[in-house]
């Protein structure tokens, strides 16, 4: 087990930049996974931000604006 | 071709039996064979007994260009010894007229106590600007495992993996300076070389005699230049990849180990997300119709649903009754506590018919969308459908998948973190392909 860990420690010391990038990548994966954030972007077209409270929900349809179809 | 320059260590001179040119002998106790720089004669003489005379053994036709790039007589610190460069020879192969390399004989520059160490004779070999320091091996390699050193690849007791590199019979094409053995006898030897960069192990065998082993280590040209006090440009330009040249990506195994660990961790994390944030499915069906006479289009509101935890929401809209018409649906997801809205618009169109007896279809009755990072809370959808005038009433099915698996994140991070290992692997492979292109035992050669 110690040899196993020593091998990985040696690998980290040989490739510190890659090890740092990998740690960053894993942290990003965990953070986005917990929030359900899609890194490639999603299909939300609304530019609206948080409205700021339960009292504002009465106005029916969130960010839907004028809809036009030729 | 450079003339032999006498050095302070010169103690005796020998005379060429062909042209009577005097040649300096740096190591009269050992040297018995000489190559004349003036007439290219190779002869035998005993510098300690000049009266016994010299015997001509062979003559080389012409001096081969570019000649020695290291000055004969020069002292250098190599292999842990202060050595003097005493002899130079150009060698080739009996079955290959093009192959040609240079070997430099090194003798101790100062008296060593007792007999010569087993390392001697030390030699420097240069081929296409790649240098090897060759010394006698203490013993034959101790091969680990069932294979023998005659096999293509094997491992020795130190853990070095050797691969068969070359088999040949040498040919002496030129010689200058002094030697302590008859180098012409080497033309009867059969040489086998194995590589484990930066090492090259060579066995020399005369007929069925027990082979002698030599271990060579790759030297950077800068090391050679520094040892002899020369400028780097005075040495031959390095071309291609040397047999024992270390691969610049020699730490690849560590990188591969690290990349494997990262790939494993990513996969485990993705599985953990599956387990800890299970996908929740839901569905609802509505009926939507064409605009009324006044041109107004109805709005449809879904039931309220709860996102128990933040996550991604996959939405699928289906219009199974849509036929030879189009529809456009704007979907607005509303957080009932905060009022925050998310919105997307999708077009559906589905056409079918028969032409020349063949049934055809175009378009799709289903579209999907992903809304990411949706906070926990209660939500509902408002749909604003726009249907073609004469479409009539069609069913609209909403399918929801809460905490949908974000494979794109997994694949994106995996791909980004694979870039460096992939690049290093390709570079390593290309380097090895270049190296082995010089070998008859090329493992990368494609079979025709």
Say whether both B173 and B305 belong to one domain: no
Lowest mean per-residue pLDDT among A28-37, A41-50, B156-165: A41-50
Query: Considering CB atoms only, which of B254, B344, B406 is closest to A44?
Result: B344
pLDDT above 70 as % of chain B: 94
Collect all residues of chain A within an 8 Å Cβ-Cβ radius of residue B342. 44, 46, 62-63
Residue A63 lies in a domain: no
Say whether both B222 and B284 belong to one domain: no
Nearest chain A alpha carbon to B419:
A18
Q: Is the pLDDT of residue B369 over 90?
A: yes
- Round to whole Å and give the CA distance between B367 and B378: 24
Closest CA relative to residue B439, chosen from B213, B172, B205, B168: B168
Distance from A17 to chain B by nearest Cα, in Å? 10
Instruction: Mark yes or no for CB contact A14/B416 under 8 Å.
Output: no
Q: Is the pLDDT of residue B301 over 50?
A: yes
Query: What is the pLDDT of chain B when averaged over all its residues?
Result: 89
Phi, psi of B407 (to 5 degrees): -65, -30
Distance from A42 to chain B by nearest Cα, in Å? 5
Q: State whether residue A51 sits within 8 Å of chain B by CB.
A: yes
Residue A15 lies in a domain: yes
Q: State whether residue A39 sits within 8 Å of chain B by CB.
A: yes
Where would I find the beta strands (DSSP E) of B276-434? 280-288, 300-301, 305-307, 311-318, 325-335, 341-355, 358-364, 366-374, 377-387, 394-402
Residue A66 lies in a domain: no
Query: Considering CB atoms only, which of B311, B339, B344 is closest to A51?
Result: B339
Instruction: Mark yes or no for CB contact A67/B384 under 8 Å.
Output: yes
Looking at B234, B258, B293, the residue that finishes a domain is: B234
Say whether both B186 and B286 belong to one domain: no
pLDDT band at B60 (very low <50, low <70, confident <90, very high): confident
Residue B437 lies in a domain: no
* Model pLDDT, residue B6: 46
Say whether both B95 and B160 belong to one domain: yes
Contact B167, B191 (CB under 8 A): yes
Q: What CATH number should be reported for the domain holding residue B341?
A: 2.60.120.380
Lowest mean per-residue pLDDT among B59-68, B141-150, B297-306, B408-417: B141-150
Provide mean pLDDT across the span B218-240: 94
Q: Is the pLDDT of residue B161 over 60?
A: yes
pTM for the whole structure: 0.78
Say whether both B186 and B326 belong to one domain: no
Residue B48 lies in a domain: yes
- Round to whole Å and give the CA distance between B287 and B296: 16
Instruction: Mark yes or no for CB contact A25/B330 under 8 Å.
Output: no
* Model pLDDT, residue A53: 37
Size of the A and B interface in Cβ pairs below 8 Å: 172
What are the angstrom distances between the C-alpha of A55 and each of B110, B307, B342? 97, 20, 18
Residue B254 lies in a domain: no
Residue A37 lies in a domain: no
Residue A40 lies in a domain: no
Distance from A28 to chain B by nearest Cα, in Å? 9
Residue B242 burial (CB < 10 Å; 0-12/13-18/19+)?
buried
Provide mean pLDDT across the span B313-319: 96
Instruction: Mark yes or no for CB contact A39/B417 under 8 Å.
Output: no
Residue A10 lies in a domain: yes
Proportion of chain A in helix, strand, coil states, percent, rounded to 5: 50, 0, 50
Residue B429 lies in a domain: no
Distance from A45 to chain B by nearest Cα, in Å? 5
Give me the interface pTM, i.e. the ipTM: 0.74
Domain that holds residue B335: 280-404
Instruction: Mark yes or no for CB contact B312/A61 under 8 Å.
Output: no
Query: Considering CB atoms only, which of B251, B338, B409 is closest to A33?
Result: B409
Query: Considering CB atoms only, which of B336, B369, B408 is closest to A40?
Result: B408
Q: Which of A6, A47, A55, A61 is best to mutate for the B interface (most B CBs within 10 A)? A: A61
Residue B328 lies in a domain: yes
Residue B222 lies in a domain: yes
Q: Is the pLDDT of residue A52 over 50?
A: no
Domain that holds residue A20: 1-32
pLDDT band at B377 (very low <50, low <70, confident <90, very high): very high
Distance from B115 to chain A by nearest Cα, in Å? 43
Provide mean pLDDT across the span B406-413: 95
The pair of structure tokens assigned to B18 is 């062909």
Say whether both B165 and B292 belong to one domain: no
The pair of structure tokens assigned to B323 is 């036929």
CA atoms within 13 A on the CB side of B342: 20
Q: State whether residue A26 sits within 8 Å of chain B by CB.
A: yes
- The answer for A33, left when phi > 0, alpha when psi is -120 to 50, beta otherwise, is alpha
What are the angstrom distances between the C-alpha of B117 and each of A44, B108, B120, B227? 79, 10, 6, 20
The secondary structure element, H or E, covering residue B405 is none
Say whether both B314 and B394 belong to one domain: yes
Question: How many domains, in total, are found in chain A?
Answer: 1
What are the angstrom distances between the C-alpha of B40 and each of B66, B73, B173, B175, B180? 15, 18, 10, 7, 18
Question: How many domains, in total, are found in chain B?
Answer: 2
Residue A68 lies in a domain: no
Contact B262, A26 (CB under 8 A): yes
Say whether both B181 and B297 belong to one domain: no
DSSP B152: S
Q: State whether residue A6 sits within 8 Å of chain B by CB.
A: no
DSSP A56: G
Contact B349, B386 (CB under 8 A): no
């Amino acid at each position: 087990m110690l040899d196993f860990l020593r091998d990985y420690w040696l690998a980290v010391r040989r490739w510190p930049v890659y090890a740092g990038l990998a740690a960053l990548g894993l942290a990003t994966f965990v953070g986005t996974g917990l929030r359900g954030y899609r890194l490639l972007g999603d299909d939300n077209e609304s530019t609206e931000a948080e409205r700021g409270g339960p009292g504002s929900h009465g106005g029916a349809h969130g960010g839907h604006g004028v809809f036009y179809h030729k | 071709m450079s003339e032999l320059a006498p050095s302070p260590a010169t103690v005796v001179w020998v005379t060429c039996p062909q042209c009577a040119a005097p040649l300096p002998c740096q190591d009269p106790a050992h040297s018995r064979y000489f190559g004349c720089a003036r007439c290219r004669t190779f002869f035998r003489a005993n510098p300690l007994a000049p009266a016994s005379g010299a015997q001509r053994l062979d003559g080389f036709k012409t001096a081969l260009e570019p000649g020695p790039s290291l000055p004969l007589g020069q002292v250098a610190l190599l292999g842990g010894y202060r050595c003097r460069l005493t002899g130079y020879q150009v060698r080739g192969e009996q079955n290959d007229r093009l192959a040609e390399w240079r070997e430099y004989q090194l003798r101790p520059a100062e008296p060593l106590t007792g007999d010569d160490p087993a390392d001697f004779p030390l030699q420097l070999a240069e081929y296409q600007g790649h240098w090897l320091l060759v010394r006698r091996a203490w013993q034959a390699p101790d091969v680990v495992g069932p294979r023998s050193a005659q096999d293509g690849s094997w491992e020795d007791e130190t853990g070095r993996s050797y691969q068969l590199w070359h088999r040949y019979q040498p040919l002496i094409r030129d010689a200058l300076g002094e030697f302590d053995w008859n180098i012409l006898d080497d033309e009867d030897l059969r040489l086998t070389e194995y590589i484990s960069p930066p090492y090259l192990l060579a066995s020399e065998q005369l007929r069925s005699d027990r082979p002698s082993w030599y271990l060579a280590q790759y030297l950077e040209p800068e090391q050679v230049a520094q040892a002899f006090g020369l400028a780097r440009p005075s040495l031959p330009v390095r071309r291609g990849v040397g047999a024992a040249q270390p691969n610049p990506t020699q730490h690849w195994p560590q990188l591969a180990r690290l990349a494997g660990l990262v790939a494993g961790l990513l996969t485990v994390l993705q599985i953990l997300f599956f387990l800890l944030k299970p996908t929740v499915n839901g569905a609802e069906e509505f009926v939507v119709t064409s605009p009324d006479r006044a041109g107004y289009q109805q709005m449809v509101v879904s039931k309220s649903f709860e996102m128990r935890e933040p996550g991604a929401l996959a939405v699928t809209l289906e219009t199974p009754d849509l036929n030879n018409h189009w529809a456009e649906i704007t979907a607005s997801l509303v957080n009932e506590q905060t009022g925050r809205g998310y919105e997307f618009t999708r077009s559906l169109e589905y056409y079918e018919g028969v032409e020349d007896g063949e049934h055809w279809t175009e378009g799709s009755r289903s579209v999907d969308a992903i809304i990411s990072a949706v906070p926990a809370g209660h939500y509902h959808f408002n749909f604003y459908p726009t249907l073609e005038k004469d479409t009539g009433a069609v069913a609209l099915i909403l399918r929801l998948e809460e905490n949908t698996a974000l494979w794109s994140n997994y694949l994106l991070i995996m791909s980004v973190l694979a870039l460096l290992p992939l690049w290093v692997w390709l570079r390593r492979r290309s380097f090895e392909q270049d190296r082995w292109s010089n070998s008859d035992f090329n493992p990368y050669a494609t079979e025709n």
